[in-house]
Amino acid sequence: MTASQVTAELIPKYVGLLAQIAEFLVVAGALYLPGRYVVRPIVGWTLDRWELAPTLERTIEKLLGTVTFVAALVVGAWAAGFTGFLGGSALIVAALTLAVGFAAQDVLSNFVAGVFIVQDRNFNIDDWIEWDGNAGFIDDIGFRVTRVRTFDNETITVPNTELATEAVTNRMSNDTLRISTTFGIGYADDIDETTRILLDAAAEHDDIVADPEPSVRVAGLAETAIDLQARFWIADPDREEFSVTRSEYIRTVTERCRDAGIDLSTTSQHAISGDLTVEDVGEA
């Protein structure tokens, strides 16, 4: 067989293959593009009307996008006549399944963990969480990883299994956030007057709630100081509100104690320190 005869036989085959590929691209595109730019926005609009949680809404949109893409590929391959590709040999399919199963164990475990995270009401987009020495806001919960934006505007990519198996603190999952701030005063200073200043500063702050009411207690006796711990609550908490409220409260207390002649510069292990805990509205 001469080269010209071989070329004459190959050209129709390549032309036919190119025609099949073109048909595949046209059919797949005809399905994917409307699904991507018409159906998904309509579904997103519908989900917004239903007022679903942002986490669940985003997950549904991702699933819809995946289904649209896979369906476009399958229907396009079928329409183009790539039935052999779709069917395949049972032996090849079994071998691929086994290989993918071993290679994708971590992916599958992260996917399953992601499903549990999405259905957990304590995990939502924009929530402030802390785990294993890290902290930040949830930016996105994917099928494999969760992306957390730190307070320095960095992004941490966390495998879903880590969040599903580690102890995670959600600072925004309840209705109120309790802030505890400790002040050290001298032994010669008036405890009752300092207590009044601490309570008045909390009562007059717009972002500190009255119920549960603020409280002050003696937290301990240091070598040269008496530790007074002020506790108060803020509603609908987030980290910015926590930081601003605590800073304004400490500033007000410091200025009023200075005017009253109360020494807050006394050496104490806990002097003007602070922490926070999450409480339910009905708990004090």
Mean pLDDT of the chain: 76
| Residues paired with 157 in a beta bridge | 147
Ranges of each domain in the chain: 3-87, 120-170, 176-279
Q: Which of 19-23, 91-95, 171-175, 253-257 has the highest mean pLDDT?
A: 253-257
**Fold of the CATH domain 120-170:** SH3 type barrels. (2.30.30)
**Average pLDDT rounded to a whole number, residues 150-169:** 88
73 versus 272: the higher-pLDDT residue is 73
**Considering the entire predicted model, what is its pTM?**
0.54
Whole-number pLDDT of residue 47: 63
What phi and psi, each to the nearest 5 degrees, are found at residue 210?
A: -90, -20
CA angle, 49 as apex, 46 and 52 as ends, to 5°? 95
Buried b / exposed e across 190-202, counting CB within 10 Å, b at 16+? Answer: eeeebbebbbebb
Instruction: Please spell the DSSP secondary structure of 116-183, one letter per residue.
Output: HHHH-TT--TT-EEEETTEEEEEEEE-SSEEEEE-TTS-EEEEEHHHHHHS-EEETTSSSEEEEEEEE
CA distance 272 to 269: 9
How do residues 39-96 score in pLDDT, each as one tens digit?
777 777 676 677 666 666 666 676 777 777 777 777 777 776 666 554 544 445 555 5
Domain 176-279 has CATH 3.30.70.100: yes
